[in-house]
Amino acid sequence: MTLHEPPHAAIDFDVLWPLAEALDALPEPRRADDVDAVAERAGVPRAHAWVALGMQPMVQVQREHPIAIGVCCGRCQLWGAAERIEALLQLRRARISAGQLAFDLVPRGCLSRCERAPVATAVLADGLVQLDGCDVEQVRALLDRIAADGAGGDGG
């Protein structure tokens, strides 16, 4: 498959690097709220801090949910990964508030599936699900299917 011309621009490295350093400086255990707070202090969208987290593979955010959604933040930025991260963060918050099965967001530098950008990987208790052309509705449908099957844990 040949990639089409990317419709988005990547976040400027000069914006990401200070965020990555601030994330690295956070005391452990780091939580999702800590990543959001770094963005707020820097005056940038939350997704910027999450993309920066993908640049720091040794900086881990504490898992809170039985499912992890790994989102490519490398070249996938050119196909809207940052916007998808923001939408996934909104979905995550809504599901937590509603007491539904939720997930942890795990930004990754690259998932090596550029021809299917933007991509994500859902890490489940019993395996992986590749999410090509990932959008929020794919993730919502996956979570709803897991919850209906009763295999996703208690939602928190």
Segment 18-63, tens digit of pLDDT: 999 999 999 999 999 999 999 999 999 999 999 999 988 899 999 9
Query: 131 and 138 in contact (C-beta within 8 Å)?
Result: yes
Name residue 79's amino acid.
W
The one-digit pLDDT tens for each residue of the chain (156 residues) are 445 678 889 999 999 999 999 999 999 999 999 999 999 999 999 999 999 999 888 999 999 999 999 999 999 999 999 999 999 999 999 999 999 999 999 999 889 998 899 999 999 988 999 999 999 999 999 999 999 987 554 444
Q: Which two tokens stand for residue 3?
A: 């990639």
- What are the angstrom distances between the C-alpha of 82 and each of 51, 78, 149, 154? 7, 9, 30, 28
Count CB-CB contacts under 10 A for residue 10. 16
Report the alpha-carbon distance of residue 26 to residue 9 in Å, rounded.
28
Give the pLDDT of residue 53.
Answer: 95
Report the alpha-carbon distance of residue 145 to residue 65 in Å, rounded.
16
Report the alpha-carbon distance of residue 131 to residue 108 in Å, rounded.
14
CA-nearest of 23, 130, 114 to 69 is 130
Report the alpha-carbon distance of residue 82 to residue 105 in Å, rounded.
12
- What are the angstrom distances between the C-alpha of 145 and each of 9, 95, 132? 33, 14, 18
Report the alpha-carbon distance of residue 100 to residue 148 in Å, rounded.
11
